[in-house]
Every structure is written in C-alpha cells, then in structure tokens.
Structure 1
Amino acid sequence: LSGSTRRSCFSSGGGSEVWGAPASGSGSERQAGAEYVIPEDDDDDDVMVVAVYEAERRLQLGDAVWIYPTNYPIREYQLKISEAALFQNTLVCLPTGLGKTFIAAVVMYNFYRWYPAGKIVFMAPTKPLVAQQIEACYKVMGIPQEHMAELTGSTAAKQRQEVWRAKRVFFLTPQVMVNDLSRDTCPARQIKCVVIDEAHKASGNHAYCQVIRQLISQTLRFRVLALSATPGGDTKSVQAVISNLLISHIELRSEESPDIQAHSHQRSVEKVVVPLGEKLSAYQARYIQVLEKFMSRLVQNRVMAHKDLRTLSKYQLILARDQFRKNPAPHIKGSHQGVLEGDFALCISLYHGYELLMQMGLRSLFFYIQGIMDGSRGQMSRAKNELQRTPTFMDLYREMETMFLKPPDGTWILHKRMSQIQRLTEVFTPVKRFHMLPHYSHKLQFVVHRFRQGGFNTLVSTCVGEEGLDIGEVDLIVCFDAQKNPTRLVQRMGRTGRKRQGRIVIILAEGREERTYNQSQSNKRSVYKSITGNRSGFRMYPSSPRMLPDGVNPQLHKMYITCGQFDHGGGSRRSVRGRRSHAEGRPSLIHPQNMSE
C-alpha cells in the first residue's frame, strides 16, 4: 500500500463514524460502502487498520469481528465478560487479581479498531494507578504507544488540548477529565469508550460522576465499562453506582463462583479478637464515668434515648443531634437549646476519644484529649471548661499526662495494646527488611518496584496500598482495623492469593471493633446475594447505546497478538517506527495467518 489508500467504511446512520474515519474536510454523512482517502502523511497505523479490514473481508468473516487475544491463556469468564461489555454498559465485579484490567484492554482495543476517529478513555482514581494501567493495557493488546497518552494536571491546559487532538487512547484521573471537559479541551463527542477503574467510588459528587454528567450533556453515544472488586457496601450504594455510571448490565463473580475457582488461589482468613486486658478495661471504666455525666443531661432532656454507653457510637449521636435540630421538643426553647447543642458537641468529641481508646489504645486517647485541653484542636473552649470542672476527667487526664509526657523508664508502653502487639509477633516470621509505603506518587512506584524485586519483604502502608496497585506477590496481610463498609477490607484481602496461597490476619479489639467487622461481612454477603439473586430490584440504565450500525453483528475472532517492549520513557515516533520491522511496538494484525479459529 503506497501513496494514498482507499477503503470502505460504514456509517451508523446517527453520524458516528464506525470502521473508518471521515475524509479530511468532509462533514457529510457517509453511506455504507462509501470510500475515503487517507492522506499520504498519515501514520502507517492507519494502514494497519485498512489491512485488518481487508484481511477480514478476504477471510469472509462477515460484516465485522471482535478480537480476543490468545497470547494469554484463555479464561472463559474473561471472554464472556469481555463480550458482554462490548455491547452493554457493564459493571464488572471481580475479586482482585482475576483480570479486570485484561478485560478492559480487550474492550478498549476493539473500540480502538471499530472507531479509528474515536477516542478511548481509561480513568483511575490516583496517578500511580494511571501509570500502572497504561503499561498493563499495552501488554495485553499492544495498542501502539504513540497512540496512547497519560494526562496529568501538571500538563498545561493548552498542551493537553493538543494531546487530545493528536492521540486516541487516554489514561488519566477523573479530576483531569472533569477540568478538560469543562474547558472544552476534551472533544466529548469523539469519545466512544470510557473505562472507570475502582468504580465503587462513583457516588455523590465524585469526579467520576461529574465526568459522566458532562459527557451525556454533549453525547449519548459512548460505551461505559466500570471495574471494581466490590460493587458497594450495601444495595443503596450499588444502586448509586449503577445510576451514576449509566450501567445496564452487571457481571459479578465472587470467590465462590465456579468459573473462577480454577484461576484463584486459596486465601485463609484468620480473625484474631484481642481482649482489652485488665489495665485497659480499668481505664475504659473510668472514661465511661466521664461520658455518663454529659450523656445523662441529654437523656434527662429527652433528646437522647438511654443506651448502654459501651455500645453507643459517635454516629448514633450525630443522628440524634440532627433529629434534635430538625424537630426540637416544645419544652426546649431559647438558650436551653444552645446548651444542649453544646452538650451534643461535647459528647460527640468524647465518643471520638472513646473509639480511639478502644481501637488504638490509651496513648491515642491522650493526644486527642490534649489537643482539646491546650486549644490546638480549634475552638473548643466550652468543652475545655466543662472538662476542667469534672474531677473524674481531670484525675484521668493528669495521670495520662504523667504517663506520656514524663514517662518513667518505659512504663508507658505497658498501657498500650500489648496483647495486640504480642499477637502480631506471633503472626510474623522474622522481618529482615521492611519499608513504609508513602502516600506520595513520585516515591510510591519506586517503593512498590523495590518490593516486587525483593529489595525488602515487608510493606507498612496506609490505605494507599489497598486499591488497584499491583503490589506483586504477597503472602501475608495483617489488618489492624475494621469498617462496616466491606469495600476496603475486600480490597486489602485482594493483595494476596494471586500467584499462590495467601494468608490474611485481621486483628480486632474485643467489643465494638469485632462487631463492626461482623457487620461488614454480613453487608458483603447481602450485596452479593441481592445482585446474583436479582431480587433487589436494581434500576438499570434503560438507554445503553448499541454503538454499532444496524445489521453489523461482530463475531468472536481469536487472534494471537504480538506486543513489543513497553517504553517507560514514552518513546518517540522514530524509535517506535524503528522497532516495527522486528514485529514489535504493535500487534501483528496485518497477517491473516496470525488469525486463529
């Protein structure tokens, strides 16, 4: 093929160009079978698309095909989910490590083929995830690197506009996408496929939701593929994701699903409940005496029901205060209402301290209370004055002050969660090398790389280590807290059991933390049962676009894809062209003999 090349293209009848791009300078709608010319200076990747089309036509494959790679072992559940996601806006819920990114790469590649004039977007919530996914997608389907771009907020808006014009497949955070849509930098009408990673975040006014709202204000013809290890903490949050992301179909697999059993490794989960111990129980009893003084005023004024203070939560207090504000009792008027507002605020603060005591230990409680007493926690003068007039509290506070500000030799550590620390030493094999996983993107990738390479064998991480990041082979995970929403725990557990059997140890304080964990597991089972049983009445998006012309029904065609080496420096067009003669840098699609039945 030399000079200019001619080929056929189809029109969807709705103005969306499929299987080809409009000729330069032509704004008219094209009929099926019309031809257009590729300018001589076009990239030879356009020639590749022409050759693929011609190969399909010669092989009498019908109107069209959708390509599935055989360069990786074929997993039937991945193939089935990929096919569903091509034709419906799909929420894919797969346990971590079972190939959500693989499915995304297959779907993106087929839209890349089908819409040579279209744009494909992959959004992830953090910069490290974005950087990771661009390489992962390339290694599956080999979309030419010079057609892909990673966009960040540090790139000038004008420069991003040029990137949007020149490239076809984009990896970015939703915040960048929102900004570019707002500035009309992003060509919304050209976007044909949107992949949303960690889709359970799409609630409220999250940037994911803003992106979809801005897109549908300009076009309805784009496919949505949403990915998550967990669809949500409860049915309400799942419905929010469905509504916000225009989902019309759900593909869910759990650890118990038969079709993934052969591809997953056993993970043992051990729940270790740590009793408070004699010393901490004594401090708990003294702190509850302080709580009783202020809670009793709310109970006496009938704005709070009498409850067991050991099981009461800060959240219950906040709900009671909101109800008090909306519907104040007739007998509470004027300044009395302000006094009770102050009591609510004080009790909420004290209950936060109680949660710290029960989950983190006495030392965490002290430093929290110290912030109230020295004024560093903001305007809490009323709380400080009330507490200073409470002898029970002041005795406890002075004792903690002596313990943590002027500690006798090492004695303060006896009042920490020693039983929890002892359990931790039982869990761990001797650790020779460890590293704190920082919450800074420029350091994070380096640390994760070192861990994968064996530079150290233990990571200590905040929640940044939970979601999405390819940490590598992890044999043991130790968790120190629990939340009612099961999403974070599922994300953590997904860090292990990828290459071989894994072990998860969850260390829980006796009492509220243990009950929170149990509630979390119950919520998870309830959500999965609702989706698989189809009894919850989820309201699916009714207008998921077909995206293909009427009469065009792509058939599955399996193909071995040859990918080159990913260029971490971004590569230049010259260097990538130089590799093509060695069948690298792009999939080998132009040779019919590479197509497998």
Structure 2
Amino acid sequence: MPEFIKHPLIKADSVEQRLYQLDLAGKALDTSTLVVLPTGLGKTIISLLVMASRLEKYGGKVMVLSPTKPLVEQHASFFRNVFNLPEEEVLTFTGSISPDKRAEMWKQGKVIVSTPQVIENDILTKRISLEDVTHITFDESHRAVGNYAYTYIAEKYFETAKNPLCLGITASPGSSDEKIAEVCQSLHIESVAVKTESDKDVIPYIHKKEIEWKRITLPDGMKEIKDLLNKVLEDRYKKLTELGYPIYNQRYVSKKDLLGLQAKLQGELRGGIPEPSVYSAISILAEIMKVNHAVEITETQGIESLRMYMERLDNEAYSKSGSKASKRLAEDLYIRQVVRRLKDCDIEHPKLEYVKKIVLGELDGKPHSRVIVFANYRDTAEMITNELAEVEGIRPIRFVGQASKYKDKGLTQKQQVEIIEQFKAGDYNVLVATSVAEEGLDIPSTDLVLFYEPIPSEIRSIQRKGRTGRKHEGRVVVLVTKDTRDEAYYWSSLSRERKMQSNMKELQASMPAVKNNSITEEFVSETSGEEQKKLFEYGNDSDKISIVVDQREIRSSVARNLDRNGADIIVKTLEVGDYILSDRIAVERKETQDFVSSLIEQKLFEQISNLSRAYEKPVLIIEGESLFNCRGMSPNAIHGAISSIAIDFGVSIFYTRDAEDTASLLMQIAKREQVDEKREINMHGRKAAPMLPQQQEYIVSSISDIGPKAARNLLLHFGSVENVMKASYEELLEVDNIGPKTAAKIREIVGSEYKN
C-alpha cells in the first residue's frame, strides 16, 4: 500500500508520497529553483508541496502559471481536489473572465492558477499587486526567454513581493548553456535540481519506453521531382553570386544560413541608400527559401503535401498581393515541370504505408490502445488522417493549432478540448497532431507515439516522447528517410538531448550548494533566507512620466518596457492612436508586417488621417527590421506611402528596432513634453483650429476612399464643397484620379437616404 502525504493544507489520502518529489520540493523551498523532471513523474505534485508549505508559513497567496487555458483548467481542477481549502479560494484566471471580476476574485483567492498573459495585463493595469504572493510556479519554464510574459512577471514579483520564492518546472530546458542560463536569469533562479529516469529514487516509477528508428528509402519518382527543384535552387544561387552575395556549400545550406543572409540584406537596406542589387537579392532569396521548403517537403513529407504547397504558391503568385518572387517561380520552366509531374504522379512517400502498418499493428494487438502521430506540417497531418481513415479499425482525427490560412482552417481552443475528450473516451483512437500537442494540453498517456519525421529541437523531441510511457509501458517510433534532411535532424536531436542532460548535471553541480531540506509530514523544516533584494531600480520619481496606452497595445511588449523604464501607464480604449504622450502628441505604432498589411488592406491612411485631425503633432513609429521584405510589397510602393504620410498628412515618422527601442523613444518624447515643456496629457487632443481650406479638405476627405490629394482635386475642379456634393456621377469622373469606384462611392454617401 502506498503512503500518502500528510499536511494540514492537503486532503488526507489524496497524494501519494514519493521520495524524489519530497527531495525536489525540499530544495525548491530553500531557494528559487529550476526543477527538471521527465514528463509524467509529477512536476505538479512538487509545486503542490511547495505551495502548501509557503501558505502555511507565510500566508498570502500562491500562484501557478501555465501557458494555455486547457492546462490552467487541468491544474486548477487538480488543486481543488487536493488542497484542504474552500473551493472559492482556489481560482482560475483566464482571458474569458472580465478584468473587473478578476480584480474582485483576486482579493479572496489563496491559490491562483492562470495564463501568464492575464497576470501580466493585470499587473500593468494595476488591478493586482504581487506584494502578498509568497510563491509562484512557472510551468513549462523553458518558455521564460525573450519577451514571453514569464520574464516580466518574475521581474515584477521579485521587485514588489515581501517574501518572494519561485519554482520553474520543465521536462526540457534546452541543450545550450545560453538558453538554460537565460531561463535561470529571467526567473531569478539560484539553484537547479535535476532528476533523470536513471536515478535510483525515480526508477521504481518509470515505465519502459521502447524507441525505434525506421529508415526508409525515397522512391526514384520523388528523387526526380527533388532534382528538378534543386535545378531551380542552383539557378537562384548563381544569380545571388552574380549580385555579390554568394552562398557557399550550397548542398548543405540550412534555413538558419538563409535567414542570416536575409538579415544581412535587410541591414543594408537600413544603412542609407542601398544599391539596386540589394532589392534584387532579397527577392531572389525569397524564391530560394520557398523552393528550399519544397525540397524539404519532397524529402520528408510526401507528394500530396508537396501538391498542396505548390497550389498555395500558385495561389499566392496570382493573388492581388502576390510577390514578384512567387510570380517568377510560377513561371519558371522547372517549377512548371514539377507541377506537371505532380498531376500525373501516382506514387507516394513510403512513410505513409509505414504509418498505416505500424498503427494498425498496434491497434490489432491492443484494440483499446491510444496512438499519437506527430507531423511537422498541417498538410501532412491532413494527408495522414485521410489515409488512416480508410483503414478498418483506425479512427483518426486531425489535431492542429488555432491559426487559419488558405484552404486550411484551424481549430479553436474549445474544439481542441472537445477532440481531446473524444480521444480519451475512445471515439477516436489515433490523434494526428502538429506541434500543438507537444505541450500545454491535457492529452492522456498513449501506448504509441509515432514521429512522421525527426525534429532538430531537443525540447520538442522530449515533449513528444513524453506523451507515452506515463502509466504503463510505451513505444516511440521515428521514421527517417535515408540521405535526406531527416537524417540530419535525427542526429541533431540526439546530440542535443545528450548535451542537455550533460549540461543540466554540470549546471546542478556548479550552482551554489543549497540545504537539502528533509521535509517532515508538516513541512516545517525549510529555512527562510534573507529578503530578496530588488534587482531593478527605475527613474526619478520627481519627474514621473505618464503615458496613456491603448488597451489593445497591452498585448505587445512595449507596455512592459515602458513600465520597466518607470512610466506610469494608464490603460484606456483609445479612439485614435496607440499611445498618448501629451495634449498635442499621439502615436500610432506599426510593426513592419502590420504596416504593410494595413497598406494592402487600405486601412493605414484612414488611421493616419484620424490621428492627424485629432492631434497637432501626430507621430508614426514603424517598428522592426524587415519593412522591405513583407508580403512581397514593392519598395517603391512603401516609399510612396511613407512620403504621403509625412508630406500630405504632416506626420512625423520614426523607425525603431524592436519593442524595447520603441519604449525608449516614447519615454524620451514624453519626457520632453511633460517635464521640459510642462504639457499635460489630453486623450482627445487639442489641435489648433484649421484654416478654411483645410476645413473644406477635411469635409471632402472624410468620405471613405478619398485621400487629401483627391479632396484637393475635387475642390479645385468644382470650386466649393457644395458643388462637390451636388456633382453627378459623370461630372465626378471628369476629375483627375477619380475613377468609377470612387465616383460611385461619393454619390452613394451624398445621395442615399439617411436611416438611423
């Protein structure tokens, strides 16, 4: 009979006592700790033990953060079942709960389980304070890098909490020293505790996990298609070389190499007036990246996946926003040959037959088994699902992320949860999944995990394998196509996994020694350290800067960088602009991708027009380093738009590298306005009254699709606003740059009956 944990805050006979969990929890109670433990060995139990101890000793609140809503719901359900607390004190925070309600709930909660984005927003908007939070668990803590919300929350936690202590838990922190160090630094981790499947105290709880590698030969017909694609690559590599940008070792060029060259070219665009060859090189590189991806699909995925990809390329080439790169590829002789071969090709990647054979073999022997087939691409997942559906006894379902694209609709989070429940119930016995099933969802342990292809990421590989062997013996099968990228990815993943295990052991040994707390039944043996020193000092309180931030901008990392810089953030829903810095300056921020998208969708000039009407000194910030490489937009079109914004609308334009750079610029402008100029913030602006011609242009340009230039043309032609409004459709067509669509729109707005 197993022994159970005994603690006043944990329900009797609800949690089995395991020595390795007690050992890890003891270390995590002494100092902020990163716990690395294989999937399925109870990382959540370790969090429970630490939270119970902190609540009993210090009171206050404890918090668990998880990346997704389904995982939050799963954790909250577990904690409600095991914590000896009133159910209303164990709370779930997600974006579906209104901010005001969360603020009320926060006051009564003892255990808060939440997605990090919600907590980040509530900290920024000052709805909650972390002052009385005595512990935070960061689930899937390998995510605590870059601008992920974990980083900001940990920073604010150690800045404001009276008794801070955090626990990071993960099965796979990464193989590089830099990645692990960044996670530790982000979460203020001082100790690392590692358990592996080979540790003596873990072995009794490990179920055997058999791993097989199936090596497959690419058929001749697919090799011929690959050769045609390689000829396209050879031609484009030659053109790049002629432009002065040679790619060496072309046979083994990686996506990382291509992205490095892309970054270099974009850097040259920003460094003054670039040579025309830079634009040509960027366009050719875009072709190379598309064809390189097609080669990878041919080698590792299958004919049907390649067919779908080529169809999307063709659709892109002939769409309104199609790039020159996609148009040139669509007209390439070898690409046309590939498309023709695909129409007549009746062979398929042998991996598909292996999948059917392996899955059927598993289900024939054990009809109640559950199987997950992992595929890197949605097209492949759809192809596998369709093939498996034709086999009697196999009930597959495709499981993908939320994003939708051409002929490929994603699944909502609600649909994902429903599919998992049906998979658990046995309505489906095979889940064909992309990376969305690797972490963050409550997917039950399976009997077989099948990799359609290896993946180079050690983190993702470990998470996939962790979907089997949890409650009983499991099996992992990885399909590898010989002499292709599959083999490179296989060796890369294997090497990185080994390196990660080695690094973790070394890091654990090199960290300052922590007292190995022996946890008694009452959890009273932990020692409290000195109060954590604040690590971040901000600004000068006498010159406090206030910045109004639009509610939608909270999702960007600009707001958290403003907070780091000492700004007093006021979150409002703004009608105009994204940031208000004074009574005369409002700012519209556009990331490069968003700038080009809003230009294509014809939203940009309306936003800029509204901004320039409301504020005396409107500002546009274009953030990012790939403005001239977004969606195939012509550089001339982008320069034309920027010129119009600056000259026609009188908007000041600034360029920033990233969110941190944007926040720094906003702080400088706001300081100049509020401290040096003694100006106050006004959400509605205070623009000086325009002169009569400007007012007349304003009235005419308020009509949809009429810009400043068109408004001036109309007024010059007809002489007054009244005459413009009276003009017939035919008369409007006589004006320069007024076409049938615009003339019809004017007549519709002016002549239609008003209906409230």
Match of 2:32? 89
Worse-superposed segment, 139-148 or 127-136: 139-148
Equivalent position SS for 2:519:
strand
DSSP-derived class of the 1:189 partner: coil
CA distance in 1 between partners of 2:277 and 2:454 (Å): 38
Aligned mates of 1:166, 1:220 — CA distance in 2: 19
1:395 lines up with 2:337 in the alignment: yes
Letter in 2 for 1:520: S
Shift of 1:379: 4.1
Say which of 117, 122, 132 aligns to 1:180.
Answer: 122
Give the Cα separation in 1 of the matches to 2:144 and 2:200: 29
One-letter amino acid of the structure 1 residue matched with residue 521 of structure 2 = K
Residue equivalent to 1:270: 212
The equivalent residue for 2:313 is 372
Q: 1:108 to 1:306 in 2, by over 3 A?
A: same
- Residue pairs, 1:27-66, within 5 angstroms: none
1:368 Cα deviation after fit: 2.7
Between the aligned partners of 1:252 and 1:555, the Cα distance in structure 2 is 17
Q: 2:53 is matched with which residue?
A: 110
Deviation per CA, 1:202-236: give whole Å up to 9, x if none: 11101111211232343363111111111124222
CA-to-aligned-CA distance 1:107-142 (integer Å, 9 cap, x gap) = 1111222233x1111111001100101122334443
Whether contact under 8 Å (1:151, 1:171) holds in the other structure is: yes
Give distance in 2, aligned partners of 1:385 and 1:498: 50
Contact map agreement 1:436 1:461 (CA 8 A) in 2 = yes
2:498 pairs with 503, 525, 530, which one? 525
**What amino acid does structure 2 have at the position aligned with 1:557?**
T
Per the alignment, residue 71 of structure 2 pairs with: 129
Distance 2:227 2:426 in 1: 47
CA distance in 2, matches of 1:300, 1:469: 50
Cα 1:76–1:377 change in 2 (3 A) is: farther
% identical aligned pairs: 26
Specify the SS of the correspondent of 1:504: strand
Partner secondary structure for residue 193 of structure 2: strand
**Distance of 1:100 and 1:137 partners within structure 2:** 13
Separation in 2, partners of 1:509, 1:120: 49
What number of residue pairs does the alignment pair up?
A: 472
Aligned to 1:415, the other structure's residue is in SS state coil
Partner of 1:101: 44
Question: How far apart, CA to CA, are the structure 2 residues paired with 1:535 and 1:251?
Answer: 6
Give the counterpart of 1:415 among 323, 330, 347.
347
* 1:192–1:222 Cα contact (<8 Å) kept: yes
Residue from 545, 556, 581 that aligns with 2:519: 556
Structure 2 Cα separation of the partners of residues 263 and 376 of structure 1: 58
Please list the CA deviations of residues 491-544 of structure 1 after superposition, one character each: whole Å capped at 9, or x if unmatched. Answer: 111111112111011123331122112101111111211221249977x8x9x9
The alpha-carbon distance between structure 1 residues 384 and 474, as it changes in their structure 2 partners (threshold 3 A), is closer
User: Unaligned regions of 5+ residues in structure 2, if any?
Assistant: 1-6, 365-392, 401-410, 524-756
Change (3 A) 1:296 1:218: same
Q: What amino acid sits opposite 1:373 in the alignment?
A: D
Q: Which amino acid aligns with 2:51?
A: M
Distance 2:451 2:518 in 1: 46
Aligned twin of 2:437: 465
Instruction: Look up the match of 2:357.
Output: 426
Query: Alignment partner of 2:202: what SS?
Result: helix
How far is the alpha carbon of 1:299 from its aligned partner? 3.0
Q: Is the 8 A contact 1:274 1:509 kept in 2?
A: yes
Tell me which residue corresponds to 1:334.
275
3-state SS, counterpart of residue 478 of structure 1? strand
Q: Letter of the aligned partner of 2:150 in structure 1?
A: Y
TM-score normalised over the length of structure 1:
0.72
| Distance in 1, Cα, partners of 2:92 & 2:128 | 14
2:192 touches 2:508 (CA, 8 Å); kept in 1? Answer: no
Deviations 1:400-454 (A, max 9, x none): 3x44xxxxxxxx5x3331x111111221234344444464332434443343344
Residues 281-290 or 375-384, more deviating:
375-384
1:89 CA displacement: 0.6
CA contact (8 A) 2:64 2:139 kept: yes
**In structure 1, C-alpha distance between the alignment counterparts of 2:85 and 2:322, rounded to whole Å:** 58
In the aligned structure 2, how far is the partner of 1:448 from the partner of 1:171? Answer: 21
Judging changes above 3 Å, is the alpha-carbon distance between structure 1 residues 84 and 144 closer, same or farther for their aligned structure 2 residues?
A: farther
Q: Distance between the aligned counterparts of 1:388 and 1:497, measured in 2?
A: 47
Greater helix share, 1 or 2? 2
Q: Does 1:225 align with 2:181?
A: no
Structure 1, unpaired ranges of 5+: 1-50, 53-65, 404-411, 547-552, 561-597
Question: What RMSD in Å do the two structures reach over aligned CA positions?
Answer: 3.1
Please give the alpha-carbon distance, in whole angstroms, between the structure 1 residues aligned to 2:241 and 2:509. Answer: 38
1 CA distance for matches of 2:509 and 2:522?
39
Counterpart secondary structure, 2:213: strand
Which structure 2 residues correspond to residues 315-354 of structure 1 after superposition, within 5 A? 315-326=256-267, 334-354=275-295
In structure 2, the CA distance between the partners of 1:333 and 1:183, relative to structure 1 (3 Å rule), is: closer
Residues in 2 aligned to 1:68 and 1:235: alpha-carbon distance in whole angstroms: 40
User: Is the Cα–Cα contact under 8 Å of residues 67 and 558 in structure 1 kept in the other structure?
Assistant: no
Deviation at 1:462, TM superposition (A): 2.8
Contact 2:30 2:517 in 1 (8 A): no
2:466 corresponds to 1:494: yes
In 2, are the aligned partners of 1:235 and 1:530 still within 8 Å (CA)? yes
Residue 261 of structure 1: how far off its partner (Å): 1.0
Amino acid at match of 2:412: Y
SS at match of 2:467: coil
Q: Is the 8 A contact 1:203 1:240 kept in 2?
A: yes
2:612 maps to none
Secondary structure of the 1:149 match is strand
Contact 1:123 1:171 in 2 (8 A): yes
- What SS is found at the alignment partner of 2:237? helix
CA distance in 2, matches of 1:388, 1:452: 45
Aligned with 1:138: secondary structure?
helix
Paired with 1:120 and 1:333, the residues of 2 have a C-alpha distance of: 55
Say if 1:141 and 1:165 are closer, same or farther in 2 by CA, change over 3 A. Answer: closer
Q: 1:293 to 1:380 in 2, by over 3 A?
A: farther
* Structure 2 CA distance for partners of 1:276 and 1:432, relative to 1, 3 Å: closer
What whole-Å deviation, never above 9, does each CA across 1:359-410 have from its counterpart, x for those lacking one? Answer: 222333333333333336774442245335532332223443x44xxxxxxx
For the Cα contact (< 8 Å) 2:213–2:477, is it kept in 1? yes
Correspondences of 1:509-548 after superposition (within 5 Å): 509-510=481-482, 511-534=484-507
CA distance in 1, matches of 2:280, 2:133: 56
Give the AA of the match of 2:304.
Answer: R
Q: Which amino acid aligns with 2:491?
A: N
* Whole-angstrom distance in 2 between the partners of 1:85 and 1:226: 9
* 1:244 maps onto 2:186 in alignment: yes
Q: Highest relative contact order (Cα 8 Å, sep 6+), 1 or 2?
A: 1
Deviation of 1:487 (Å) = 0.9
Whether 1:146 and 2:94 are equivalent positions in the alignment is no
Distance in 1, matches of 2:330 and 2:25, equals 64
> CA 1:182–1:384 in structure 2 vs 1: closer, same or farther (change >3 Å)?
closer
Distance 1:277 1:69, change over 3 A: farther
Distance 1:318 1:443, change over 3 A: closer
The CA deviation at 1:156 is 1.4
Could you tell me which residue of structure 2 aligns to residue 566 of structure 1?
none
Correspondence for 2:589? none
Does the Cα contact within 8 Å between 2:229 and 2:294 map onto a contact in 1? no
Counterpart of 2:153 in structure 1 is 211
